[in-house]
Amino acid sequence: MSSENEKSSEEHEQLALIRETVRKAKVPRAKPRTWRGAALAKELPVARVVVNKGSLHLDQFFDYAVPEELDESAQPGVRVRVRFGAGAHQVKNGRREGGRLIDGFLVERRATSDYSGPLAALADVVSPEPVLGPELLGLARAVADRYAGSLADVLQLAVPPRSAKAEGRPSPEPLPPPAAPEPGTWTRYERGPAFLESLARGGTPRAVWNALPGPYWAEEIARTVAATLASGRGALVVVPDGRAAARVDAALTVVLGEGRHALLTAEAGPEKRYAQWLAVRRGAVRAVVGTRAAMFAPVRDLGLVVIWDDGDGSHSEPHAPQPHARDVLLLRAAHDRCAFLLGSTSCTVEAAQLVESGWAKALNAGRDQVRRAAPLIRTVGDGELARDEAARAARLPSLAWQTVREGLRTGPVLVQVPRRGYVPRLACERCRTPARCRHCAGPLEAPEQRELHCGWCGRGALDWHCVACGSTRLRAQVVGARRTAEELGRAFPAVPVRTSGRDHVLDSVPGRPALVVSTPGAEPVAEGGYAAALLLDGWAMLGRPDLRAGEEALRRWIDAASLVRGQGEGGVGGGVVVVVAEPTLRPVQALVRWDPVGHAQRELAERAELGFPPVSRMAAVTGPPEAVEGFLAAAGLPADAEVLGPVPLPVVRPGGPRRPGHPPPGEQWDRALVRVPPGSGAALAAALKQARAGRLARGGGDPVRIRVDPPDIG
């Protein structure tokens, strides 16, 4: 997010000059004036430009004169270079003075300007390639307004960096529309064939799809894209990561053939990705699959937008104004009047709200299909662990050991661990009080082959004792993936053990017997499916201080369990999943019943009673305490707005981890939540944006950060 401290005195002087000149002018001039002797374009000599300055108080268009030599190339949508800052519009002795060259986009050519003074001329046209069309500009404006951000910041996300080599290569010729596909595995869903048929006829159905477990979801997405292309329209698919994109890419190649779709991911590299983006912009390719940034892909005649696994945190953009891919695609579906499909093996409360409101229809399978496709789920709670002291020490009760042994007879076994590493967190063995450093209160760690030390300041803690009960014995609060792999390797010495996590993510594993230890989200796909799975330390995910803790734990469990073989007809030869968590908890029960939709509906009903998102709209305001207090006092919030807080955020210790939106190390920041009922979200965003822009224009001191619809409001 852009910082308020990055304001420039040059920008303030330019704004003051523009305001003063406009105030003195009685009527706009018919033609722009620039320095002496400069020849202007004979028709439409004014270029309206959006400059690449993300500051909110500069969120407007600026007029520039079009020199005659740039008349042909300075067309709407092209990248340009302009003088911006103090003196950019001043003329002395026939020469322009001041200002510095920055990039921008030319959005419109006009005959006159509302600015009555002499206009600075366009310095250059960077490329004659029109990359910003009216549809993309309108979408970017809508996203900026929704998230209280600037148009320039959204365009930085929407338009990839230029590659001259890619622009110089011609795009392929567009292929004719394919034939409408067969329903395939969509016949497993009650409204599946009808959904495909509507897309092929040119309809605009909107659905929330609870996908069955198993490997078919990528092919099913590919068939929806093929049906949309058959109607002569384009399609856009957004997935959370490169592995999911590769699976949909392969499925699209099988269903559509080569050359009919583009893959937009960061792994492709800047030049290749820009070449693919240009092929989409030029209309040579009508279907796109990609990760988060692809949500802005300029697909021609857009007929369908698809988002897969909208609960994945990767869909939330970390850069200003921090939009979520789901909300951007909802805006596109409304603006372009196209079909919409939200799919996942789980279900978020936002997805449940789309169905509850009637905006979208549920696209589910019958319970018989669910029972055949899902594995058998068995639970292990704290009571059983307490009765099995040996299992407590190893975190694996007898049921888990038995499931692993039987599963290894027929294939690989997946073990999901909430944390990576060796022993990320430690606690007192007697009372479970977290072990903290006596110097900085940081968490104590015991990495592999290293002595006990603080994870923040690095000091040793060999003489540690519990401040609550005096015990000197430690236990693993959450054992990491590497430690778990080591324990299982000793228990099953003849079986290969593989790990998958942030440092090294496996895409797939063979169907041979093996133990695969993975952190959530990094589970590889097993050939033929896993024979069994263990979901360990469930309490660690359920105990997170977050409103979404239960929803997120269920999503992670279902994603892992979906990789296990289904029960099939009669429950013969199916896979087994053991979850180590309290069986009576709602997310655990939803997993046992394989009912993520019911869980989301109950969560939505509770949030409606409490006024929590997504039923309400909310914004987080963070910063130093005095700055937050002054900002809220000055902001013209809607009359129905409710301010919760402010409350202090945890202080980040020097050298400790820092997350986006949290204070710099050692500083004390507060956070206030501003909540409004349905229908007032736009007014809230506008009020916050106006207040922050005014603060920037006045040279406000301490930074205040705003995030609309924050993903974590624990």
Computed over every residue of the chain, the mean pLDDT equals 85
> Regarding predicted confidence, which is higher, 659 or 133?
133
Judged against a pLDDT cut of 80, whether residue 143 lies above it is answered with: yes
Least confident interval from 175-184, 287-296, 640-649: 640-649
Judged against a pLDDT cut of 90, whether residue 305 lies above it is answered with: yes
Token representation of residue 282: 């030029």
Judged against a pLDDT cut of 70, whether residue 76 lies above it is answered with: yes
Q: Residue type for 46, please? A: V
Instruction: List, in order, residues 6 or more apart from 71 with CB less than 8 Å away.
Output: 41, 42
Mean pLDDT along residues 25-50:
67
Measured distance CA(379)–CA(535) in Å, rounded: 10
What percent helix, strand, coil does the chain show, rounded to 5?
35, 20, 45
At residue 16 the predicted structure's pLDDT band, cuts being 50, 70 and 90, is very low
Find out whether 660 and 318 touch, Cβ atoms under 8 Å: yes
Find out whether 550 and 586 touch, Cβ atoms under 8 Å: yes
Neighbours of 480 (CB within 10 A): 25
Neighbours of 504 (CB within 10 A): 9
What torsion do the CA atoms of 112, 114, 120, 123 make, to the nearest 10 degrees? -70
- pLDDT tens digits for 340-370? 999 999 999 999 999 999 999 999 999 999 9
Q: Which of 364, 353, 363, 360 is nearest to 604 (CA)?
A: 353
- How high is the pLDDT of residue 611? 87
Q: Which of 202, 200, 220, 201 is nearest to 210 (CA)?
A: 220
How far is residue 501 from each of residues 312, 351, 521, 544, measured CA to CA in Å? 16, 28, 8, 20
Percent of the chain with pLDDT over 70: 84
> Regarding predicted confidence, which is higher, 439 or 417?
417
- How high is the pLDDT of residue 657? 52
Q: Which of 71, 54, 60, 53 is nearest to 122 (CA)?
A: 71
N- to C-terminal Cα distance for the chain? 21
Token representation of residue 40: 């202007």
Cα 691 from chain centroid (whole Å):
26
Measured distance CA(568)–CA(215) in Å, rounded: 14
- pLDDT tens digits for 455-510? 766 788 888 888 888 888 887 655 556 677 777 877 788 899 998 987 789 999 99
Measured distance CA(714)–CA(712) in Å, rounded: 6
Judged against a pLDDT cut of 80, whether residue 238 lies above it is answered with: yes
- How high is the pLDDT of residue 302? 98
DSSP 69: G
Token representation of residue 398: 């007898």
Please, what are the domains in the chain? 9-133+153-159 (no CATH), 184-369 (3.40.50.300), 381-606 (no CATH), 617-708 (3.30.70)
Helix (H) or strand (E) holding 274: helix 270-281
- pLDDT tens digits for 556-598? 999 999 999 999 844 446 899 999 888 999 999 999 999 999 9
Calculate Rg over the CA atoms of the chain: 29
Cα 449 from chain centroid (whole Å):
37
Using CB atoms within 10 Å of the CB of residue 218, give its burial: 0 to 12 exposed, 13 to 18 middle, 19+ buried.
Answer: buried
Mean pLDDT along residues 698-709:
82
Measured distance CA(548)–CA(614) in Å, rounded: 11
pTM of the model: 0.85
Q: Is the dihedral of CA 470, 473, 474, 475 positive or negative?
A: negative
How far is residue 266 from each of residues 288, 293, 500, 540, measured CA to CA in Å? 14, 9, 21, 32
Mean pLDDT along residues 25-44:
59
Measured distance CA(556)–CA(552) in Å, rounded: 6
Place of tokens 């920041």: 669
Mean pLDDT along residues 667-672:
88
- pLDDT tens digits for 146-159? 999 999 999 999 99
DSSP 3-state assignment of 408?
A: coil
Measured distance CA(55)–CA(58) in Å, rounded: 6
Instruction: List, in order, residues 6 or more apart from 176 with CB less than 8 Å away.
Output: none
Measured distance CA(254)–CA(248) in Å, rounded: 10
Least confident interval from 291-300, 416-425, 565-574: 416-425
At residue 93 the predicted structure's pLDDT band, cuts being 50, 70 and 90, is very low
At residue 14 the predicted structure's pLDDT band, cuts being 50, 70 and 90, is very low
Task: Establish whether the linkage from the previous residue to 614 is cis, with ω within 30° of 0.
Answer: yes
- How high is the pLDDT of residue 400? 86
φ, ψ dihedrals at 248, nearest 5°: -70, -35
At residue 397 the predicted structure's pLDDT band, cuts being 50, 70 and 90, is confident
> Regarding predicted confidence, which is higher, 701 or 283?
283
Strands of the sheet with 376-380, listed across from one edge? 376-380, 576-580, 532-535, 413-416, 515-518, 497-500
Measured distance CA(134)–CA(136) in Å, rounded: 6
- How high is the pLDDT of residue 545? 66
Percent of the chain with pLDDT over 90: 61
Helix (H) or strand (E) holding 627: helix 625-634
Token representation of residue 77: 């949508």
- How high is the pLDDT of residue 268? 87
Q: 21-28 long-range contacts, Cβ below 8 Å, gap at least 24?
A: 21/115, 21/116, 21/117, 22/114, 22/115, 22/116, 24/116, 25/116, 27/116, 28/112, 28/113, 28/114, 28/115, 28/116
